[in-house]
Amino acid sequence: MENLLTIMNFSHVYEREKFFIDKKYNWIDCTNINGTNGYCDENAFNEINQKLKGLEPKGIHFIDSGNYHYVSELWINKIKRDFNLIVFDHHSDMVKPSFGDILSCGSWIMDAIDKNKFLKKVFIIGLSKEQKQTIPNKYLNKVKCICDYDLKSINKERLCGFLDDKYPVYISIDKDVLSEKVVDTSWDQGLMSFDELKTLLHIIISNYKIIGLDICGENDMRKVIQVRNNDKINSKLVNFLKEEDNFL
């Protein structure tokens, strides 16, 4: 499978969207895998990994709602060189699960830092001040944040100064970083406009080597208006990313 657009369908939500149908894409059906919603047990992890066998981290990967954001870890595990991770998210995704050491959508960044020897630094953009405070102190040497209230003051110079330019980057976008005025996800959301997201992505893509990118944040409640709005944003994102000269 060599297409650069991959759709990972967990909650059936992509069956009601159209943004990808006129493009070449890989369809990864994950709807029959148990133990995936919010948390990912060992059997589910192995099953998902098997479905991604043969695929490279290069490309645009849609990974369903924010409940499945941990799938980003499976994609970055395919990177076998030093890299940085840039995450657009209203949450830190660095909160220890309430039971055991199971991988979850709320802990995957912490898990990746602990286990991935090639991951050098993580940059989280658009999280809330409260979520920044959930990051354990022992990870602060590896994690840098731009909170949602600082977004208005970010320009090219400040963003490039914030990022480490030594390594190529993998980008992960949770659409809950966007304002509810832009799109409705299944989680509480940030303050970012779509134009702000595009501007930040343009700066990153223009100044850094991009390994690949994934997108989550579908609204898996699947009400018609929510699905339609997410479909529209997904289409805009794909078209924007494909127009960027240095992307992929």
For 91-149, how does the pLDDT look when each residue is reduced to its tens digit (9 = 90+)?
Answer: 999 998 877 788 999 999 999 999 999 999 999 999 999 999 999 999 999 999 999 98
Instruction: Answer whether residue 245 shows pLDDT above 90.
Output: no
Query: pLDDT at position 152, please?
Result: 83
**3-state helix/strand/coil string of 33-58:** CCCCCCEECHHHHHHHHHHCCCCCCC
Average pLDDT over residues 155-173: 91
Query: pLDDT at position 247, please?
Result: 56
- d(Cα 107, Cα 97) in Å, to the nearest integer? 7
Task: Output the six-digit token pair for 59.
Answer: 């490309």
Query: pLDDT at position 186, please?
Result: 79
- Asked which of 20-24, 153-157, 188-192 is least confident by mean pLDDT, the reply is 153-157
**How many residues in the chain?**
248
pTM confidence score: 0.95
Query: pLDDT at position 85, please?
Result: 98
For 172-211, how does the pLDDT look when each residue is reduced to its tens digit (9 = 90+)?
Answer: 999 999 999 999 897 889 999 999 999 999 999 999 999 9
Query: pLDDT at position 136, please?
Result: 95
Task: Output the six-digit token pair for 198.
Answer: 């595009």
Average pLDDT over residues 49-56: 96
Q: In the chain, what percentage of residues exceed pLDDT 90?
A: 83
Mean pLDDT of the chain: 93
Query: pLDDT at position 99, please?
Result: 72
Instruction: Answer whether residue 246 shows pLDDT above 60.
Output: no
Average pLDDT over residues 219-239: 90
Average pLDDT over residues 11-30: 95
Average pLDDT over residues 41-45: 95
Task: Give the residue with greater pLDDT, 106 vs 153.
Answer: 106
Query: pLDDT at position 1, please?
Result: 43
